[in-house]
């Protein structure tokens, strides 16, 4: 295994007497023993740094291994729980399938019993039931016809009443300084007919419904007619 920072290790530069003589002050030139001790101290320091880095790398690897182990344990626990849940669901499905089979079996038994019962009733009972159903249908049809005839009669009576009210005019819309409504005898008026009212001659401009709310009478809307014209048919 290569220790961290292996690439950073480098051999110390060889001793250069000229450089040492150039860098050292006159009279302070180190001895060979001192240079060797300095070199050994530097190498020892580098080795200690590399050893420290190596220990840190080993500790990091151990921590990673612990994390991987914890993750593996968690995954195995989840897998065990999933397997247990799956087995429980499979058991529930098997029980449900068994219950459905039992229901289908009971349903088939009931259908068989019903078929036997229908066969025991016989043709006579079936015919009597058909006759009763037909009688009930005829009675319902007769009732429906009677209700329709009654409704039709009521509708015809209402239509006849509306027609009678529509053919006669019971109100006159009279012009003047102020328009006013005058009740008149129920009479048949047509557009253009002349009406004498209080000595004045009027002409029917149009016929329409009464302006009074809820009043079914017809109303003749009058305009002033030519003076001196005598009243004709339909005057009142």
Per-residue pLDDT tens for 85-110?
888 888 999 999 999 999 999 999 98
Q: Is the pLDDT of residue 9 over 70?
A: no
- Report which of residues 208 and 167 the model is more confident about: 208
Q: Is the pLDDT of residue 10 over 50?
A: no
Lowest mean pLDDT among 71-80, 181-190, 201-210: 181-190
**Under 8 Å between Cβ of 218 and 169:** yes
Domain-wise residue ranges, the chain: 168-224
Q: Is the pLDDT of residue 80 over 50?
A: yes
Q: What is the pLDDT of residue 106?
A: 92
């Amino acid at each position: 295994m290569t220790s961290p920072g292996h690439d950073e290790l480098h051999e110390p530069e060889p001793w250069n007497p000229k450089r040492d003589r150039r860098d050292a002050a006159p009279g302070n030139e180190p001895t060979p023993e001192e240079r060797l001790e300095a070199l050994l101290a530097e190498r020892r320091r580098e080795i200690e740094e590399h050893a420290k880095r190596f220990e840190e790398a080993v500790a990091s690897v151990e921590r990673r291994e612990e994390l991987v182990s914890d993750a593996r344990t968690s995954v195995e626990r989840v897998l065990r729980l999933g397997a247990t849940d799956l087995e429980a669901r499979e058991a529930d499905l098997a029980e449900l399938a068994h219950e459905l089979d039992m229901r289908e079996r009971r349903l088939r038994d009931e259908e068989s019993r019903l078929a036997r019962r229908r066969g025991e009733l016989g043709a006579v009972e079936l015919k009597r039931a058909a006759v009763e159903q037909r009688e009930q249908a005829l009675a319902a049809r007769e009732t429906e016809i009677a209700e329709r005839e009654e409704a039709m009669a009521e509708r015809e009576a209402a239509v006849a009443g509306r027609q009678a009210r529509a053919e006669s005019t019971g109100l006159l819309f009279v012009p003047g300084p102020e328009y006013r409504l005058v009740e008149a005898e129920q009479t048949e008026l047509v557009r253009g007919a002349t009406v004498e009212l209080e000595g004045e001659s009027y002409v029917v401009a149009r016929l329409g419904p009464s302006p009074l709310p809820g009043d079914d009478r017809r109303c003749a809307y009058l305009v002033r007619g030519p003076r001196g014209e005598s009243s004709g048919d339909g005057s009142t």
